[in-house]
Amino acid sequence: MSDAPVLLFDSGIGGLTVLREARVLLPERRFVYVADDAGFPYGGWSEDALSERIVRLFGQLIAEYRPAICIIACNTASTLVLEPLRKAFPEMQFVGTVPAIKPAAECTRSGLVSVLATPGTVRRTYTRDLIQSFASQCHVRLVGSENLAGLAERYIRGDSIDPQDILAEIEPCFVDQNGRKTDIVVLACTHYPFLANRYRSLAPWPVDWLDPAEAIARRAKSLLPVSDGVSEVPDIAVFTSAEPDFAIRRLMSGFGLQFVATQD
Ligand code: DGL
Protein backbone atom coordinates (compact mmCIF):
# COMPACT_ATOMS: atom_id res chain seq x y z
CA MET A 1 0.00 0.00 0.00
CA SER A 2 1.01 3.61 -0.32
CA ASP A 3 2.40 4.71 3.02
CA ALA A 4 1.39 8.33 2.48
CA PRO A 5 -0.06 9.53 5.81
CA VAL A 6 -3.26 11.32 6.68
CA LEU A 7 -2.31 14.79 7.93
CA LEU A 8 -4.56 16.27 10.63
CA PHE A 9 -4.19 19.93 11.40
CA ASP A 10 -5.38 22.17 14.25
CA SER A 11 -4.17 25.15 16.25
CA GLY A 12 -3.68 22.90 19.29
CA ILE A 13 -5.02 19.73 20.81
CA GLY A 14 -8.57 20.06 19.41
CA GLY A 15 -7.87 18.00 16.32
CA LEU A 16 -7.33 14.97 18.57
CA THR A 17 -11.14 14.73 18.85
CA VAL A 18 -11.16 14.13 15.07
CA LEU A 19 -8.08 11.88 15.17
CA ARG A 20 -9.77 9.43 17.53
CA GLU A 21 -12.68 9.00 15.10
CA ALA A 22 -10.37 8.84 12.06
CA ARG A 23 -8.37 6.05 13.71
CA VAL A 24 -11.54 4.00 14.14
CA LEU A 25 -12.51 4.34 10.48
CA LEU A 26 -9.00 4.23 9.01
CA PRO A 27 -7.12 1.80 11.28
CA GLU A 28 -4.62 0.85 8.59
CA ARG A 29 -3.53 4.45 7.93
CA ARG A 30 -0.56 6.36 9.27
CA PHE A 31 -1.30 9.77 10.83
CA VAL A 32 0.70 12.95 11.13
CA TYR A 33 -0.89 15.27 13.69
CA VAL A 34 0.09 18.93 13.33
CA ALA A 35 -0.63 21.50 16.04
CA ASP A 36 0.14 25.11 15.16
CA ASP A 37 0.46 25.85 18.86
CA ALA A 38 2.77 28.80 18.14
CA GLY A 39 -0.33 30.44 16.62
CA PHE A 40 -2.87 29.34 19.29
CA PRO A 41 -5.54 30.59 19.80
CA TYR A 42 -6.73 31.14 16.23
CA GLY A 43 -9.99 32.76 17.42
CA GLY A 44 -8.55 36.27 17.71
CA TRP A 45 -6.41 36.42 14.53
CA SER A 46 -7.18 38.82 11.68
CA GLU A 47 -8.39 36.89 8.63
CA ASP A 48 -5.63 37.96 6.23
CA ALA A 49 -2.79 37.22 8.64
CA LEU A 50 -4.21 33.83 9.63
CA SER A 51 -4.88 32.78 6.06
CA GLU A 52 -1.38 33.77 4.96
CA ARG A 53 0.17 31.91 7.92
CA ILE A 54 -1.70 28.65 7.31
CA VAL A 55 -1.11 28.57 3.54
CA ARG A 56 2.62 29.17 4.13
CA LEU A 57 2.72 26.44 6.78
CA PHE A 58 1.04 23.95 4.45
CA GLY A 59 3.69 24.63 1.82
CA GLN A 60 6.23 23.23 4.32
CA LEU A 61 4.02 20.43 5.65
CA ILE A 62 3.06 19.04 2.24
CA ALA A 63 6.67 19.15 1.04
CA GLU A 64 7.89 17.40 4.18
CA TYR A 65 5.22 14.75 4.84
CA ARG A 66 3.70 14.18 1.37
CA PRO A 67 0.28 13.30 2.80
CA ALA A 68 -2.42 11.32 0.96
CA ILE A 69 -5.00 13.77 2.29
CA CYS A 70 -5.14 16.74 4.70
CA ILE A 71 -7.88 17.07 7.30
CA ILE A 72 -8.23 20.61 8.60
CA ALA A 73 -9.54 19.60 12.03
CA CYS A 74 -10.25 23.18 13.02
CA ASN A 75 -13.39 25.22 12.31
CA THR A 76 -11.63 28.56 12.76
CA ALA A 77 -9.14 27.62 10.04
CA SER A 78 -11.51 25.71 7.72
CA THR A 79 -14.08 28.51 7.51
CA LEU A 80 -11.29 30.77 6.28
CA VAL A 81 -8.60 28.87 4.39
CA LEU A 82 -10.18 25.90 2.65
CA GLU A 83 -10.49 27.84 -0.57
CA PRO A 84 -7.01 29.44 -0.50
CA LEU A 85 -5.49 26.04 0.37
CA ARG A 86 -7.25 24.30 -2.53
CA LYS A 87 -6.11 27.07 -4.83
CA ALA A 88 -2.50 26.97 -3.61
CA PHE A 89 -2.24 23.14 -3.65
CA PRO A 90 -4.60 21.90 -6.38
CA GLU A 91 -3.12 18.40 -6.37
CA MET A 92 -3.95 17.87 -2.67
CA GLN A 93 -7.31 16.83 -1.19
CA PHE A 94 -8.45 18.86 1.81
CA VAL A 95 -11.27 17.83 4.14
CA GLY A 96 -12.55 20.70 6.22
CA THR A 97 -14.34 20.95 9.54
CA VAL A 98 -17.13 23.50 9.36
CA PRO A 99 -20.00 24.19 11.78
CA ALA A 100 -22.59 21.36 11.59
CA ILE A 101 -25.42 23.80 10.92
CA LYS A 102 -27.13 21.72 8.21
CA PRO A 103 -27.55 18.54 10.33
CA ALA A 104 -28.62 20.67 13.30
CA ALA A 105 -31.31 22.39 11.22
CA GLU A 106 -32.53 18.98 10.00
CA CYS A 107 -32.76 17.51 13.51
CA THR A 108 -34.05 20.35 15.68
CA ARG A 109 -37.61 19.99 16.90
CA SER A 110 -37.93 23.33 18.65
CA GLY A 111 -36.36 25.26 15.74
CA LEU A 112 -33.89 26.85 18.16
CA VAL A 113 -30.27 25.95 17.49
CA SER A 114 -27.09 27.44 18.94
CA VAL A 115 -23.62 27.37 17.42
CA LEU A 116 -20.81 27.47 19.97
CA ALA A 117 -17.55 28.50 18.31
CA THR A 118 -14.50 30.71 18.54
CA PRO A 119 -15.00 34.45 17.89
CA GLY A 120 -13.23 33.92 14.54
CA THR A 121 -15.67 31.23 13.33
CA VAL A 122 -18.66 33.31 14.44
CA ARG A 123 -17.41 36.28 12.39
CA ARG A 124 -16.84 34.33 9.18
CA THR A 125 -18.92 34.94 6.07
CA TYR A 126 -18.69 31.16 5.55
CA THR A 127 -20.62 30.53 8.78
CA ARG A 128 -23.27 33.16 7.95
CA ASP A 129 -23.67 31.59 4.49
CA LEU A 130 -24.21 28.14 6.02
CA ILE A 131 -27.04 29.54 8.13
CA GLN A 132 -28.63 31.28 5.18
CA SER A 133 -28.37 28.22 2.92
CA PHE A 134 -29.39 25.49 5.35
CA ALA A 135 -31.07 26.94 8.43
CA SER A 136 -33.12 29.91 7.30
CA GLN A 137 -36.23 28.27 8.81
CA CYS A 138 -34.55 28.09 12.26
CA HIS A 139 -33.57 30.58 14.89
CA VAL A 140 -29.78 30.19 15.04
CA ARG A 141 -27.87 31.85 17.84
CA LEU A 142 -24.14 32.29 17.22
CA VAL A 143 -22.15 32.20 20.45
CA GLY A 144 -18.52 33.31 20.13
CA SER A 145 -16.60 32.00 23.11
CA GLU A 146 -13.42 33.83 24.06
CA ASN A 147 -12.21 31.28 26.58
CA LEU A 148 -13.55 27.79 25.97
CA ALA A 149 -10.75 26.53 23.68
CA GLY A 150 -8.20 27.68 26.28
CA LEU A 151 -10.18 26.01 29.08
CA ALA A 152 -10.24 22.76 27.08
CA GLU A 153 -6.46 23.00 26.61
CA ARG A 154 -6.03 23.49 30.36
CA TYR A 155 -8.44 20.66 31.20
CA ILE A 156 -6.62 18.23 28.96
CA ARG A 157 -3.31 19.24 30.60
CA GLY A 158 -4.79 18.18 33.93
CA ASP A 159 -5.45 21.65 35.43
CA SER A 160 -8.54 21.95 37.60
CA ILE A 161 -11.22 24.09 35.95
CA ASP A 162 -13.86 26.05 37.84
CA PRO A 163 -17.27 24.82 36.60
CA GLN A 164 -18.52 28.42 36.74
CA ASP A 165 -15.95 29.39 34.09
CA ILE A 166 -17.35 26.72 31.76
CA LEU A 167 -20.94 27.66 32.54
CA ALA A 168 -20.23 31.32 31.70
CA GLU A 169 -19.12 30.26 28.19
CA ILE A 170 -22.02 27.88 27.43
CA GLU A 171 -24.89 29.72 29.13
CA PRO A 172 -25.59 32.11 26.19
CA CYS A 173 -26.39 29.01 24.07
CA PHE A 174 -29.59 28.40 26.02
CA VAL A 175 -32.53 30.32 24.61
CA ASP A 176 -36.05 30.08 26.00
CA GLN A 177 -38.43 31.86 23.64
CA ASN A 178 -42.24 31.76 23.87
CA GLY A 179 -42.17 28.35 25.51
CA ARG A 180 -39.68 26.93 22.98
CA LYS A 181 -36.18 26.05 24.06
CA THR A 182 -32.87 25.45 22.32
CA ASP A 183 -32.56 21.71 21.72
CA ILE A 184 -29.29 21.48 19.76
CA VAL A 185 -25.92 23.07 20.42
CA VAL A 186 -23.40 22.68 17.59
CA LEU A 187 -19.86 22.21 18.92
CA ALA A 188 -18.17 24.26 16.21
CA CYS A 189 -14.65 24.10 17.60
CA THR A 190 -12.76 20.82 17.75
CA HIS A 191 -11.47 21.63 21.24
CA TYR A 192 -14.94 21.66 22.76
CA PRO A 193 -15.88 17.94 22.76
CA PHE A 194 -13.18 17.31 25.39
CA LEU A 195 -15.43 19.10 27.90
CA ALA A 196 -18.71 17.52 26.74
CA ASN A 197 -19.40 15.75 30.04
CA ARG A 198 -19.01 19.05 31.87
CA TYR A 199 -21.49 20.77 29.54
CA ARG A 200 -24.02 18.01 30.17
CA SER A 201 -23.81 18.36 33.92
CA LEU A 202 -23.89 22.20 33.82
CA ALA A 203 -26.58 22.71 31.15
CA PRO A 204 -29.78 24.44 32.35
CA TRP A 205 -31.72 21.76 30.41
CA PRO A 206 -30.74 18.74 28.31
CA VAL A 207 -29.76 19.45 24.70
CA ASP A 208 -28.02 17.51 21.93
CA TRP A 209 -24.33 18.55 21.73
CA LEU A 210 -23.46 18.02 18.07
CA ASP A 211 -19.87 16.92 17.42
CA PRO A 212 -19.04 16.49 13.71
CA ALA A 213 -15.85 14.42 14.25
CA GLU A 214 -17.26 11.13 12.99
CA ALA A 215 -18.75 12.75 9.87
CA ILE A 216 -15.36 14.31 9.06
CA ALA A 217 -13.61 10.97 9.46
CA ARG A 218 -16.21 9.34 7.19
CA ARG A 219 -15.68 12.01 4.55
CA ALA A 220 -11.90 11.48 4.63
CA LYS A 221 -12.36 7.70 4.32
CA SER A 222 -14.63 8.15 1.31
CA LEU A 223 -11.89 10.09 -0.50
CA LEU A 224 -9.08 7.62 0.15
CA PRO A 225 -8.44 4.43 -1.82
CA VAL A 226 -8.95 1.20 0.11
CA SER A 227 -5.60 0.13 1.62
CA ASP A 228 -4.35 -3.40 1.42
CA GLY A 229 -2.01 -3.38 4.40
CA VAL A 230 -1.29 -1.84 7.75
CA SER A 231 1.27 0.92 8.19
CA GLU A 232 4.16 -0.11 10.43
CA VAL A 233 5.49 3.46 10.70
CA PRO A 234 4.59 5.21 13.98
CA ASP A 235 2.15 8.13 14.02
CA ILE A 236 3.75 11.44 14.88
CA ALA A 237 2.76 14.80 16.40
CA VAL A 238 4.36 17.98 15.09
CA PHE A 239 4.20 21.22 17.11
CA THR A 240 5.10 24.54 15.52
CA SER A 241 6.28 25.94 18.87
CA ALA A 242 8.79 23.08 18.92
CA GLU A 243 8.50 23.08 22.70
CA PRO A 244 5.19 21.79 24.07
CA ASP A 245 5.31 21.18 27.81
CA PHE A 246 5.53 17.83 29.56
CA ALA A 247 1.74 17.47 29.94
CA ILE A 248 1.23 17.88 26.21
CA ARG A 249 4.01 15.43 25.36
CA ARG A 250 2.45 12.93 27.74
CA LEU A 251 -0.96 13.51 26.14
CA MET A 252 0.51 12.90 22.69
CA SER A 253 2.11 9.68 23.79
CA GLY A 254 -1.24 8.65 25.35
CA PHE A 255 -2.70 9.11 21.87
CA GLY A 256 0.08 6.96 20.43
CA LEU A 257 1.83 9.90 18.77
CA GLN A 258 5.59 10.39 18.77
CA PHE A 259 6.58 14.00 19.28
CA VAL A 260 8.55 15.72 16.49
CA ALA A 261 9.67 19.37 16.65
CA THR A 262 9.38 21.64 13.63
CA GLN A 263 10.16 25.27 12.90
CA ASP A 264 7.34 27.83 12.78
N1 DGL B 1 -9.89 23.97 17.46
C2 DGL B 1 -10.12 25.18 16.74
C3 DGL B 1 -11.48 25.15 16.05
O4 DGL B 1 -12.01 24.09 15.74
C5 DGL B 1 -9.93 26.52 17.40
C6 DGL B 1 -9.18 26.76 18.64
C7 DGL B 1 -8.49 28.13 18.65
O8 DGL B 1 -7.41 28.20 18.09
O9 DGL B 1 -9.05 29.09 19.19
O10 DGL B 1 -12.05 26.17 15.75
**What is the Cα–Cα distance from 138 to 206, expressed in whole angstroms?**
19
125 has binding-site annotation: no
Q: Picking from 8-22, 98-112, 201-215, 238-252, which range would have the lowest pLDDT averaged per residue? A: 238-252
Cβ neighbours of residue 246 under 8 Å, at least 6 residues apart?
none
Q: Which atom of ligand 1 is nearest to the CA of 191?
A: 1
Pick the residue with more confidence: 243 or 89? 89
Helix and strand element counts for the chain (H, E): 11, 12
Task: Please tell me the predicted confidence (pLDDT) of residue 244.
Answer: 85
Provide the pLDDT confidence category of residue 43 given band limits of 50, 70 and 90.
Answer: confident
Q: What is the dihedral of CA 36, 41, 45, 49, to 10 degrees?
A: -10
Neighbour-count burial for 7-35, b at 16+ CB within 10 Å, e otherwise: bbbbbbbbbbbbbebbbebbeebbbbbbb
Candidate list 70, 138, 173, 189, residue with the active-site label: 189
Residues 75 and 49 in one domain: yes
On whether the CB atoms of residues 71 and 6 are closer than 8 A, the answer is: yes
**138, 63: one domain:** no
Distance CA 72, CA 200 (A): 27
Evaluate if residue 141 carries a pLDDT over 90.
yes
| Interatomic CA distance for residues 32 and 236, integer angstroms | 5
CA of 197 to the centre of ligand 1 (A): 19
Is there a single domain that holds both residue 110 and residue 201?
A: yes
Asked if the structure places residue 219 within a domain, the reply is yes
Provide the whole-model pTM. 0.94
Q: Grade residue 2 by pLDDT with cuts at 50, 70 and 90.
A: low
- The yes-or-no verdict on residue 129 having pLDDT over 90 is yes
- Chosen domain end from 189, 211, 233: 211
| 24 lies in the same domain as 93 | yes
To the nearest 10°, report the CA torsion of 69, 70, 73, 74: -150
Averaged confidence pLDDT in the chain: 95
Nearest to 188 by CA among 94, 263, 114: 114
146 and 53 in a single domain? The answer is no
Does residue 90 belong to any structural domain of this protein?
Answer: yes
In this structure, the number of other CB atoms found within 10 A of the CB of residue 183 comes to 18
Q: Report residue 232's pLDDT band, with 50, 70 and 90 as the boundaries.
A: confident
Inform me whether the pLDDT recorded for 122 exceeds 80: yes
Q: Indicate whether 133 pLDDT > 60.
A: yes
Residue 1 belongs to a domain: no
Domain that holds residue 26: 6-97+214-262
Number of structural domains in the chain: 2
* Residue 10 among known ligand-binding residues: yes
For ligand 1, mutation pick of 8, 16, 18, 42 (most atoms within 8 Å of CB): 42
Residue 139 assigned to a binding site: no
From edge to edge, which strands make up the β-sheet containing 258-261?
94-95, 69-72, 6-10, 31-35, 236-239, 258-261
**Ligand 1: residues within 6 Å at CB?**
10-12, 14, 40-43, 74-76, 118, 121, 149, 189-191
> Which residue did the predictor score with more confidence, 263 or 138?
138
Q: Is residue 140 part of a domain?
A: yes
State in Å: Cα 73 to ligand 1 middle.
Answer: 9
pLDDT range class, residue 264, cuts 50, 70, 90: low
Q: Are residues 85 and 120 in the same domain?
A: no
Q: In residues, how long is the chain?
A: 264
74 assigned to active site: yes
List the CATH number of the domain containing 165. 3.40.50.1860
pLDDT at 229: 75
